[in-house]
Copies of this chain bind each other. A is one copy, B any other.
Amino acid sequence: MSNPSLLILPGDGIGPEVMTQVKRIIDWYGEKRDLAFDVSEDLVGGAAYDKHGVPLSDETMAKAQEVDAVLLGAVGGPAYDNLDFSVKPERGLLRLRKEMDLFANLRPAQCFDALADFSSLKKELVAGLDIMIVRELTSGIYFGEPRGIHIEDNMRVGVNTQRYTEAEIERGARAAFELAMKRDKKLCSMEKANVMESGILWRDVVTEVHADYPEVELSHMYADNGAMQLVRAPKQFDVIYTDNLFGDILSDCAAMLTGSLGMLPSASLGLPMANGRPKAMYEPVHGSAPDITGQGKANPIACILSFAMALRYSFDQGEEAGRLEAAIEKVLADGARTGDLMGPEGGTPLSTIEMGDVILAAL
């Protein structure tokens, strides 16, 4: 049997720097755990634009469709801010999500014990926090038509369309309920059913799917209240299911609560392929961080934990994923810190490479 295949898209900014550390971890699994991957690498985002004039070439898109999993660093940066909308670095990312049909975006918001002090929130509110946000990722206002800027009565008008079919809401809901079944069996669905009809349909469909998961305790919350409750008492949540746009905002809010933005991975999953594995892309929640790019300061942990999610969700290697996560917990408990994890008391932070070193040593 051939090795499972991985396409690495380091992207822009700190993407390549953190990805270099992930590649060392991948190599380690091949050498030490007999888990070898066929790794290829390609361009996305601004890096692809610089070479091809588009943020994702058709060749790269085709490769992404063929591999067992894609691992992405980050896209975007100030050099690309004035590009035309259609070739912005972000379009490369959105094309991958859409064409691979990665409808279930899993964003854990976890507070690492050793880092609870870094949260903006009081420690007792976040210590032990472990939320899983499931964000619908291939539909909604990100992709709905009509869209664009046009002229009406001599005036510019900007239009975007939120559009959800019941099938789109349902498949994401099933992914969320399945996750809830493996966790604390609590699911909170968030929308604005009080002002949006698409929110009413959302609530109805999630309620219908609930019939297949009677063991899960389902609640509904308006998204504005959801944002409040995330700040007020985040530990009330187990799994949250929400749409593409609300998920973008609420997951960033939840990520920030943990105080560990440089630590948070994500998985974007689609339908099963012929080999039974789901279409999948893994990426850190953080962005390209232009302010620290090229300085060897970036925290590689979010990207490494994204690879751990790949081990778990694409390669059925939950135990190996746990090994990697445990190594990271250990180095943190031992005090290993990149610059983003330094408290006011100071000290000398580890570089990106040094953080890779200690994690490899702990494996």
Contact = CB atoms under 8 A, between A and B. Distances in A.
A349 B47 CA distance: 60
B252 A249 contact: no
Nearest to A123: B122
A148 interface: yes
Contacts of A122: 120-122
A245 B164 contact: no
Interface in A198-244: 198-202, 204-205, 223-225, 227-228, 230-233
Nearest to A146: B161
B149 A248 contact: no
A276 to B, nearest CB: 27
Nearest to A151: B166
Given A231-B231, A231-B253, A165 B161 contact: no
Given A231-B120, A257-B231, A157 B163 contact: yes
B159 A232 contact: no
Interface of A: 76, 85, 88, 90, 94, 120-122, 125, 141-142, 144, 147-149, 152, 155-167, 192, 194-202, 204-205, 223-225, 227-228, 230-233, 245-246, 248-253, 255-257, 261
Given A159-B161, A224-B248, 8 more contacts: A76-B194, A120-B125, A141-B196, A149-B201, A156-B204, A157-B165, A158-B198, A192-B248
